[in-house]
Each structure stands twice: as structure tokens, then as C-alpha cells.
Amino acid sequence: MMKKSIWLYSFLIFSLLFGSNLSQEDACIACHVEVDQELDDEDKIVNHFESDIHIKVGLSCADCHGGDPNAFDDEDEAMWENETFIGAIEKSEQLDVCGKCHSDPLFMRRYSTDVKVDQVSQYKTSGHGISLAEGNDKVAVCTDCHNVHGILPVNDPRAPVYAKNIPETCSKCHSDDTRMFESGLPTNQFDEYKNSVHGVALLENGDIGAPACNDCHGSHGATPPYVENVDQICGTCHSNNKNLFQKSHLNDIFLSKGFGQCEACHGNHDVEKPTDEFLGWSSESACKPCHEDSHPAKLMASHFYQTIDSLKIGLIQAHDMVEKAEHKGMIVSELLFDLEDAKKTLIQTRTNIHSFNNAFVDSGAAPGFVSIQAAINGTNVLLDEVIYRRKGLLAFSLIITIFVIAIGLKVKEWKRIRESEEV
């Protein structure tokens, strides 16, 4: 009696939760509400269904696990005696089970016309897929990244595969020394990444445009990039830098020496926000670790540094002057365009250094110096105008003061005359 009332109570709660009587329609759910009673909330299968994408689109337990969802009265008929029933899905079976729908374009087109169906084929080419094919049952399969029940769409911020959550999801395995021991892979990628310019942008600033693991390694087809692919991967976002570097004389040299083009100077997981000190010949120089002091690279690096530094100093000077004129009430909007042009040139010049060509960098930087000079000249005109106005005010005040004194004296004189007349 007691058991029956618990079942009834759970059934009612579950019915209210979903707004429709799923457990009345599905024998699997009806039964699992009851058998999972003793489990923790997290382990109750039905607790995950509320947000599950598969349940939402009308799929049921039987679509993955087989069995007969209409066999309400007989457990054997529902599961063990049903030839389609496969129960808990082993890792080795997942590609087939998930791929049954996700690799079928006709089936998937019901839900979206542009849905991808190449996940399984991509997975098979990935490090994970190859290892799984070799019999490694510890390797990540679909459910390790997407969850088992309660699977959320990729654009749901709660999903483990949502852009911002991907580093954490990958790190569950890739930061685990025990799990990675056999593969010999390092486990410090996440620690390096989270402090990198990309990691800070994604994890701290919430910029989901910033790259996560999958943007460089691929997602279903995850594999480490080869040296010759590095520029293509970084070039997906940093296309100008990539194009310039590919045309530079360093491209072939790097490839012949086995350096990952961008990675050689900027690193990979721990890529830092580049500073202008990467150029030049200080201790932070990115060129110095490979080149001797006597190498012509020193001259080129120093030249790049000086060019960018001159633009920066000029821009700061012009900006301060324009701000000064603005504080004095002058309209500086046209000068702000010059400053904006100079800023753009500075950014462009920082990109141009990837050409490793002095003449190209110089010609690119030249318009920036012109804009800075235009802003300085324009500000000087405005500051001269401020001085002119103040001189004008001084002259005006002098005239007014003389007038006021003259009137005051005249009034006093009249008063004296009147008083003497009255006497």
C-alpha cells in the first residue's frame, strides 16, 4: 500500500513536471519513476528528461535502448523478451546507436535543414575514434562530451559542449593524469589555456567568439594539428597575419626546421596577448631566442619596434593635445577622425610586421604619421584660438572696467554737485 502511494505520488509529480503524462504513454518512464525512487536526484534518469532535446522532439527511451514502451504490465515483455532491447549502451556501441539517426540525412532533416550528419565519420578519423577502434574503452565517445540523458543543444549555455564550457569538458579527461598516462599526452593544456589570451577572453570575459579547444583541434574529428597546418588554424581568425607570414621569407625556413609557424613565436595553449616588446631586442623579444646578436634579424626587429613605438608615442602626444583642446571647450570631432586613422594604422602596422619586410612595414606606417601630424597641427590651431579668445576677453574686460569706473566717477561728481547746490 505504502509502495503504491509512493508510486502514485511520484507519478503525479512527474506528470505535473512535464505538463503531459509521459509516464502514461511510455512504459519505460512509468517503470523508471518507480524503480529510481531510492536513487539520488542526480541519478534518477527521469530527472534529466525535462530539458533533454531528444524528449523534446518526441523521441523516447526505446528509440535508443530498444524494447517495447507499450508493455505496461509485463517487465519481461517490455525489455528482456523484446529482441530490439539493448539496455545500457556500451561505448563500443555508441557510434552505431547515435549514428543511427545522426548519420541519416533524411531523418535529421525533419529537425533542421542544415543539420550536420558527418559526426560519426569525422569521429572515426579523430584521435578518439582511432583509439576506440583499437579497443580502448577509456576514450571519449559521444556521451562523454554530450552527456547521457539530459542532452542539451549545443547553443544552450548549460550544455557541456556550449562554447564557454568546452575547455572544462575536454579537461575532464585531458587534465586527468591517470587517464592520460597510457596515451602519454600532457595534462597541462587547460591550465595553460585558461591563462592565455584566448582563455581569458572566453572564460573570464565570456566572449564566445574566442577560440576553445575545438576551434583549433576540431570537435568530432579532434586531432592535434600538424606543423604545416598551424598557420591555417590560427589564420581562421588571424587571416591577415597568416597571409603576410605565408608570403614572407620565414615561412619556408620555419617549415623546413619543423617550427609551427605562429606557434614558434606565440606558443599554443598558453598563447599570450602579444606586446610590442615581442619585437626589438630586449629580454622579451620573440626573435632573440633563435637569432644571434650579430644576425641581421636584430636590425629588422629593432626597426619594427622603433616604428611601432614612434607611432604609439606620436598617438599619445596627439591624443593628449586633442584632449587638452577639448577641455578648453573646442570642437575636436574632426581631429578625432585623424586619431582614429592613426590608431587603425598602428594596429595595421602590428599586423604588417608578419611580412618581415622593412619597406612594407614602413609604407604601411606612413599614413599613421601623417594622421598624427594632422591631429597635432589641427590642435595647435585650436589652442591658438583659445589664447586669442582669452586675449580678447582681457581687452573686453579692460574696456568694461574703464567704462564702469568712468560712470562711477561721473555719478559721484553729479552727486557732489547736487549736494553742494542743496547746501
Partner 1 sequence: MSIYEWMNERIDLDSVKKFALKKRVPIFYGSVWYYLGGVSLFLFMVQVFTGILLILYYQPGAETAYESVKFIISRVEFGWLIREVHSWSANLFILFAFFHMFTVFFAKAYRKPREMTWVTGMILLMLSLGFGFSGYLLPWNELAYFATKVGSDIAGAVPVIGDFALRLLRAGDEVSGATLTRFYGIHTALLPGIFTVVLGIHLILVQVQGMSVPPEIEKIPEEKRKSIPFFPDFALQDAMAWLIVLNLIALLAVFFPWDLGSKADPLASAPAGIKPEWYFMFMFQTLKYIPAHVLFIEGELFGIMLFSIGGLIWFLVPFLDKKANDGIRTPFWTWFGILLIIYMIVLTAWGYLT
- Which spans of this chain sit near partner 1 (rule: CB under 8 A)? 328-331, 333, 389-390, 392-393, 396-397, 400-401, 403-404, 407-408, 410-411, 414-415
Nearer to partner 1, 39 or 402 (CB): 402
Nearer to partner 1, 283 or 333 (CB): 333
CB 289 within 8 A of CB 331: no
* Separation between Cα atoms, residue 366 and residue 66, nearest integer Å: 70
How many CB atoms lie under 10 A from the CB of residue 421?
7
Nearer to partner 1, 23 or 379 (CB): 379
Least Å from the CB of residue 420 to partner 1 = 15
Least Å from the CB of residue 375 to partner 1 = 16
* Separation between Cα atoms, residue 233 and residue 242, nearest integer Å: 9
Nearer to partner 1, 257 or 389 (CB): 389
Least Å from the CB of residue 415 to partner 1 = 7
Nearer to partner 1, 224 or 392 (CB): 392
Nearer to partner 1, 70 or 401 (CB): 401
- The DSSP output letter for 15 is H
Nearer to partner 1, 17 or 381 (CB): 381
- Give me the residue label for grid cell 534529466: 48
Least Å from the CB of residue 394 to partner 1 = 9
Q: According to DSSP H, which parts of 88-158 are helical?
A: 91-102, 105-108, 119-125, 127-133, 142-146
Least Å from the CB of residue 322 to partner 1 = 14
CB 371 within 8 A of CB 339: yes
CB within 8 A of 314, min separation 6: which ones? Answer: 342, 368, 369, 372
Least Å from the CB of residue 400 to partner 1 = 4
Per-residue burial over 149-180, b = 16 or more CB atoms within 10 Å of its CB, e = otherwise: bbbbeeeeeebbbbbebbbebbbebbbeeebb
* Calculated CA dihedral for residues 40, 46, 50, 53, nearest 10 degrees: 120
* Separation between Cα atoms, residue 244 and residue 282, nearest integer Å: 24
Least Å from the CB of residue 367 to partner 1 = 25
Sign of CA dihedral 102, 105, 111, 114: positive
